[in-house]
Copies of this chain bind each other. A is one copy, B any other.
Amino acid sequence: MAAMSPPQLKIKLQIYCGDEIAMGPGKADLLDAIRREGSISGAARAMDMSYRRAWLLVDAMNRCWREPLVATAPGGAARGGGAKVTAVGERVLALYHDLQASCATAAGSEPWHALADALLDVPKASQKG
């Protein structure tokens, strides 16, 4: 009964630094939200994420790169202080989005069309041999 929906390719880019993820889709979304909301707590609320989780993601980013990607005002976001994406953070975010675009372009290619057009079907509800 599900509406027909075309097959969709999702590309997830994760930049690892040792065992830590220095940048990925979730962290990029969080940076975008901090830029919009002006604080970690506001960004967490907008993303329906706990403040603790948002803080841990920011902490990981700030440890993985040569310079912090997010700067917090004295007092900290928990007490109403603001947070902003640094110049380095803006650059990392822009390059990450460039990287996503390159991959998306590459993926709009021969193998994907062969997979999507010729082989993929809408899911059947169930199937017994």
Contact = CB atoms under 8 A, between A and B. Distances in A.
Contacts of A23: 115
Contact of A111 (B9, B20, B98, B122): B98
Chain A contact residues, majority secondary structure: mixed
Interface residues of A, number: 54
Contacts of A92: 115, 119
Given A12-B11, A12-B12, A115-B96, A120 B18 contact: no
Interface stretch (A31-39, A44-52, A63-71): A63-71
B123 A17 contact: yes
Rank and list the top 3 A-B pairs by shortest CB-CB distance, nearest first.
A106-B106, A98-B111, A12-B12
Contacts of A63: 123-124, 126-127
6 contacts: A7-B22, A8-B16, A15-B116, A65-B119, A103-B103, A106-B106
Given A7-B17, A107-B13, A95 B123 contact: no
A103 B11 contact: yes
Given A18-B122, A20-B123, A103-B106, 6 more contacts: A9-B14, A9-B16, A12-B13, A17-B123, A63-B127, A72-B129
